[in-house]
Amino acid sequence: MSFEWPLVRLGDLISLKGGFAYKGEFLGLNGAVLLGMGVVSHSERFLKDGIRRYRGELPSTHRVSAGDMVIATRQQSDNLPILGCPALVPKDLPSDDIVVGTNLYKVTNTSDLENQFLYWLLRGKEYRRRIIDCSKGTTVRMITKDAIEDFCFLCPPSETRNEITKFLNALDERITLLHETNVTLEAIAQALFKSWFVDFDPVRAKSEGKLPEGMDEATAAFFPDAFQETELGVVPRGWQVKFLSEKVKISYGKNLPTNNLLEFGYPVYGGNGQIGFIDKYLYESRQVLVSCRGAASGKFNQTVPKSFVTNNSLVLESGPRSEIPFGYLKGCILSADLAPFVTGSAQPQVTIDNLKNFKFLFPLLEILQIYENYSSVIEDRIEANTQNINVISGLRDTLLPRLISGQLRITDAEAELEKTTA
In this predicted model, what pLDDT tens digit does every residue of 281-328 receive, in sequence order?
Answer: 999 999 999 999 988 899 999 999 999 999 999 999 987 778 899 999
Residue 118 and residue 199 in one domain: no
Last residue of a domain, one of 360, 378, 396: 378
Contact yes or no for 33/51 (Cβ under 8 A): yes
Average pLDDT over residues 369-393: 95
| The pLDDT value given to residue 80 | 58
Residue 162 lies in a domain: no
pLDDT digits (tens, 9 = 90+) for 27-77: 998 999 999 999 998 888 999 989 999 999 999 999 999 999 999 998 865
**pLDDT (tens digit, 9 = 90+) per residue, 92-119?**
999 999 999 999 999 999 999 999 999 9
Question: 390 lies in a domain?
Answer: yes
Average pLDDT over residues 210-227: 95
- If pLDDT is split at 50, 70 and 90, which confidence band does 420 have? confident
Distance between CA 272 and CA 295 in Å, rounded?
10
More confident residue, 260 or 3: 260
d(CA 218, CA 144): 67
Residues 135 and 120 placed together within one structural domain of the fold: yes
- Identify whether residues 109 and 207 lie together within a single domain: no
CA nearest neighbour of 416 among 397, 391, 399, 394:
399
In a domain, 173, yes or no: no
pLDDT digits (tens, 9 = 90+) for 330-377: 999 999 999 999 998 788 999 999 999 999 999 999 999 999 999 999
Please say if the pLDDT value at position 78 is more than 60: no
Are residue 117 and residue 23 in the same domain, yes or no? yes
Same domain, 250 and 288: yes
Lowest mean pLDDT among 194-203, 255-264, 305-314: 255-264
Q: Is the pLDDT of residue 384 over 80?
A: yes
Is 171 a member of any domain?
no
Q: Under a CB-based contact definition with an 8 Å cutoff, are residues 148 and 71 in contact?
A: yes
Same domain, 188 and 83: no
Phi-psi region of 270 (alpha: psi -120 to 50; beta: other; left: phi over 0): beta
**Percentage of the residues of the chain whose pLDDT score is greater than 90:** 83
CB 335, CB 290: distance < 8 Å: no
> pLDDT class for 10, splitting at 50, 70, 90?
very high
Q: What is the pLDDT of residue 252?
A: 96
What confidence tens digit (pLDDT) does each residue in 397-413 have? 899 999 998 899 999 99
Measure Cα distances from 369 to 243, 284, 296, 366 in Å: 20, 19, 31, 5
pLDDT, residue 328, reads 97
| Measured distance CA(388)–CA(111) in Å, rounded | 36
How far is C-alpha 398 from the chain's CA centre? Answer: 21
Total structural domains within the chain: 3
Give the CATH number for residue 294: 3.90.220.20
Q: How confident is the model at residue 212 (pLDDT cuts 50, 70, 90)?
A: very high
CA torsion angle 183 187 188 192 (round to 10): 160
Q: 195 Cβ partners below 8 Å, 6+ apart?
A: 201, 202
Q: Are residues 113 and 89 in the same domain?
A: yes
Domain of 74, in residue numbers: 2-155
Is the pLDDT assigned to residue 2 strictly greater than 80?
no
In this predicted structure, the answer to whether residue 79 has a pLDDT above a threshold of 70 is no
Query: Do 15 and 147 lie in a common domain?
Result: yes
Q: What is the pTM of this model?
A: 0.85
Other Cβ atoms within 10 Å of 322 Cβ, number = 16
